[in-house]
Amino acid sequence: MELYQTYLAAVEDCLDRLFRTDAPYRQLQEAMRYSLLAGGKRIRPVLTLAFCALAGGDWQRALPLGCALELVHTYSLIHDDLPCMDNDELRRGKATNHVVYGVTLATLAGDALQPEAFGMIAQAEGLTAEQRIEAVTVLARAAGADGMVAGQVLDLLGSCSDLAAVERLHRLKTGAMIVGAAELGCVAGGAGPALRAAAVDYARHLGLAFQIQDDLLDVTADTQTLGKPVGSDRREGKTTFVDLLGEDGCRRTVADHTAAAQAAIAPFPGNMFLSRLAGQLAGRKR
């Protein structure tokens, strides 16, 4: 989609301008940029820009908010790959951060990305003080102890074995940040309560569809196509959606959640981009 490429180019340009200071600790910034600029679909910041536009706002004003969330997402990936977590050596087709820079610097790179994200929101131009405060609250809730980190803890505990528990895990670990991305767009665009509620509904369904498709690709794709190790969850004994639903059941459930996401935003004029995005993510191969 042409609009997706427009959003993507703006996000990449914004991120590329970060952490370029020539300082004695520049290796830290190199490590931060290594993972931040490693590619990826940038789904989360794109959602932020798209929901700002759907609310009738100037999507460029939402750019610092979407990129701030991407900083937090990148930190989570760096830490998720560490030996004390998933101990992965490949991410987006490249060696993971700790493989290149060592565990200590990788950990610190992730640590540094978190406060930098909130600093970006605090300095975002074109937004009111109230909008910036609300954006900080949204991101903190999405990433914190009742959001993404809570999901990571549930994942590490390995105690989720039935469908309800696995859904709860991924609503937190993956879904909370996707919901946060949609809400940030609503904040920047000044969305009313109805659109804000629809954005949350859309993002919750999109997040589950995204994760179920991830689990499906983990058993049907190959490492080269996916850009990261396949089959790792099964090797670690984690229960996945494929274990619970089977491959065909996963495909049906992805379709159901995608349709529900599209239905959530259907009443709002200008929803075509977000509706098509949900459909394309449902059929992705990586």
Burial class of residue 42 in the structure, from the number of CB atoms within 10 Å of its CB (0-12 exposed, 13-18 middle, 19+ buried): buried
Helices (H), 55-174: 63-80, 97-101, 103-122, 129-143, 148-157, 163-173
Residue 65 near residue 188 (C-beta atoms within 8 A): yes
The SS3 of residue 159 is: coil
- At the second CATH level, the architecture of 2-282 is Orthogonal Bundle (1.10)
Cα(286)–Cα(283) distance, integer angstroms: 9
Helix, strand or coil for residue 95?
A: strand
Q: Which residue has the tokens 């003080």?
A: 129
In a structure prediction context, what are the per-residue pLDDT tens digits for the chain, which is 286 residues long? 799 999 999 999 999 999 998 889 999 999 999 999 998 899 999 999 999 999 999 999 999 999 999 999 999 999 999 999 989 999 988 999 999 999 999 999 999 999 999 999 999 999 999 999 999 999 999 999 999 999 999 999 988 999 999 999 999 999 999 999 999 999 999 999 999 999 999 999 999 999 999 999 988 876 666 665 666 666 677 899 999 999 999 999 999 999 999 999 999 999 999 999 999 999 888 7
Helices (H) then strands (E): counts for the chain: 15, 2
DSSP state of 8: H
Please state, in angstroms and rounded to a whole number, the distance separating the CA atoms of residues 89 and 40: 17
* DSSP run (H or E) holding 217: helix 193-220
pTM of the predicted structure, to 2 decimals: 0.94
